[in-house]
A and B are shown apart, each in its own frame.
Chain A
Amino acid sequence: MQINYNFAFFDESSKREIRRATLKAIAVPGYQVPFASREMPIARGWGTGGLQLTLSLVGLDDIVKVIDQGSDESVNAVSIKKLVQNTTDIRTTDETAKATLIQSRHRVPEIPLRAGQILVLQVPMPEPLRMYEPREAETKKLHAEKEYSGAWLMLFEQIMNYGSMTTGADHPVMVHDRYVMAPSPIPKFDNAKLNSSEALILLGAGREKKIYAVPPYTKVVSLDFEDYPFETESFEDRSCRLCGSTGVFMDELYDDASGTAYFQCNDTSYCLERMNEQSWREGAESR
C-alpha cells in the first residue's frame, strides 16, 4: 500500500506556520521563537527540530545535504535524508558546495558556506541559561532584560573547577550584541564560522519547540573573560591521515594494529573531496 503524503510531509498550513516562526527568528537574531513542534515519524531528540525547518523550506529546486557529526553516511543522517527524499523527490548530495540546504547535527561544514545557502542545525537544548535557571518564565525575563550574568557565571565555574573554559561544544555566543544563544553542540572550532556567515543559519529544537536564527552577516561573538579569552580546539601540528588537510576539525582515532593515535578530518565529505582532487591532479600529471 502506498501512503500519500503532502509534498514535504506536512500540510501546507503547518509549513506556513513553521516558516512564520522562522521569519520572526530571522528578524530577531538569536532570539528563541516558540513554535508548535509537530509529531514526526522519527523520535524527538533525533533531529525533529531541524527536520521540521528543512521540510518547511525545501522546494522542488533544492538540493539537500544531511550530516551527522560530520558524516553524511551515519544511520541518522541517512534516515533523515531518506525521509526528505521520500516525501519530496528532490535531489540530495554529499557535496557541501552543491547543496542549497544543509541540515546538520553538531558540525558546520569545513567548506565555507556561501550566500544563498541555508544551514539548518539540530538543537537538543536551545536555552543557554537553562543550567543556571531551570524555570522557562525566568530565563525569558533574563533574555528580555539582557541579563546574562548566568552565562558568564557558568564559564567562571568551569574555570574554577577545571582551570579553563571546558565547554567542548555548545559554547555560548552573543548574537548581534543582543541575545546570548546556544549554538547547538558544535565544537568551539566551528563558532567562528557563525560570525558574519554568508549563509543563513537556522537552528531548530523539536522537543523544546524553539526556532532561532543567525541571518547572513550577523556578528556572533563567543563569550569569554578578559584574562581567559575564548580558545578553540587546536589541531595546529596535526594533519589528516587520509587527505593531508591541516587547519580543520579532526577526530583523534586509534590504530589498534600499530597501537598509535592518528588524526582524520571529522567532515567526511570534505575529506573525500580533497582526496578526489588529489587523485585527479595526480592522474592529470601522469597523463
Chain B
Amino acid sequence: MIQMEQPMISVQHLNKQFGPGCPHCMNPASRKLYKNFCTVCHTVYSCQDVSFDLYPGEIIGVVGESGSGKSTMMRCLYFDQEATSGEVYLQAYKDGIRNLFAESTQQKRYIRNHLMGKVYQNPMLGLRMDFTSIGNIAEKMIAAGSRRVSEMEDRGMELLEKVHIPLHRIKEAPKHFSGGMQQRVQIAKALSNRPPVLLLDEVTTGLDLSVQASVLDLIKALQRELGISIVLVSHDLGVVRMLADRTLVMLDGKVVEEGLTDQILEDPQEAYTQQLVHSLL
C-alpha cells in the first residue's frame, strides 16, 4: 500500500493571511469570515490550516474556484512567499525531519534550486522571456552550482527535446514562443536538477484545448518516466481528473474534501464538491 511509505512532502497546518487580524477573526475555531475575508479588519485568510501528504511518485491534484488559495499555497511551498504559520517536511531534505519554513534564506534557496521545480501559470514568472530557452534551463543549474557550459548545454538540449522544443529553436527567447511552448520550456527548466518534487500551478490554464491536452500528456509521460512527485493545481476539475491519483478540494482557503480522484468524482461528499463535479458533467 502506498500509505505505508514515508511521504515525499508533508504539509501540516499551513496558514497564510494578509493583514494583522483582529479579535473578531484571530481565533480559527470561532472566526466568522465572508468567504476568506474578515469584514471587520479586512484581513484575508488565503490558506487556513491546509494539511496533506504527497507520496513518492504520486500526483496530487488541488482543485477549487478562483481565490480559494491554491496559488498562495504553492507560493508558500516554493518560498515565493512566507507562510504565516505551519510546517512542511521534505523527505529529500535532511531525511524529512526539518520544518522547511524554519530554515534560513540560504537553505530555502538551496531547497528551491536542488529539490524542487515549479511551473507558473504566467510564464513571465517562471522564465526570463528575453534570454535563450537553453539559458533559462542553465539558470537553474547555475543556481545549483554548475560551472560547466558543456554539461548545462547537454542537459538543456536533452530536456528541451523531451518537452518537444525543436533543436533549432533552443537558442530562441521564450518571448517568441507560443503559450504552449513557453509552458513546455518552464517544465524543462523545473526538471533541470532532477528534483524529487514538482509544483505545477495552472500550467494549462489559458491554453487552447488541443494544446492543453498535449501539455497534460507530456506531464503524464514525464511523471511516469521520472517517477517524480507532483502537486498539480487547477481550477479545472477536468485537468485534475486526467492526471491526479488523489485530489484535494479547496474553498475559501480551506481543504473541504480529500480522497482518491475517482472516488471524489463518483461520490462527492461535500455540497461544494458535488457542485464542482456536476458542472463537469
Determine if B109 and A160 form an interchain contact, defined as CB atoms under 8 angstroms apart: no
Determine if B142 and A156 form an interchain contact, defined as CB atoms under 8 angstroms apart: yes
CB distance from B151 to the nearest CB of A (A): 8
Q: Residue A226 contacts which of B109, B147, B171 (CB distance < 8 angstroms)?
A: B147
- Which partner residue on chain B sits nearest A148 by CB separation? B142
Chain A, 30-50, CB within 8 A of any chain B CB: none
Size category of the B interface is 10 to 19
Q: Mark B140-171, 1 if CB is under 8 A from A, else 0.
A: 00110001111011000000000000000001
Size category of the A interface is 10 to 19
Given contacts A145-B105, A161-B171, contact A153 B131 (CB under 8 A): yes
Q: Mark B99-127, 1 if CB is under 8 A from A, else 0.
A: 00000011001000000000000000000
- Which partner residue on chain A sits nearest B138 by CB separation? A156
Considering residues B131, B134, B149, B150, which has the most beta carbons from chain A within 10 angstroms of its beta carbon?
Answer: B149
Q: How distant is the Cα of A209 from the Cα of B109 in the complex, in angstroms?
A: 30
Determine if A149 and B171 form an interchain contact, defined as CB atoms under 8 angstroms apart: no
B179 at the interface (CB under 8 A from A): no
A157 at the interface (CB under 8 A from B): yes
Which residues of B sit under 8 angstroms from A225, Cβ to Cβ? 147-149
Q: Which 10 A-B pairs have the closest CB atoms?
A: A149-B143, A149-B142, A152-B142, A157-B135, A153-B139, A225-B149, A226-B148, A160-B132, A156-B138, A226-B147
Interface, chain B (partner A; CB < 8 A): 105-106, 109, 128, 131-132, 134-135, 138-139, 142-143, 147-150, 152-153, 171
Interface pairs (15), CB distance under 8 Å: A145-B105, A145-B106, A149-B142, A152-B147, A153-B135, A153-B138, A153-B139, A156-B135, A156-B152, A157-B132, A159-B149, A160-B132, A160-B153, A226-B148, A227-B149
Interface, chain A (partner B; CB < 8 A): 132, 145, 147, 149-150, 152-153, 156-157, 159-161, 225-228
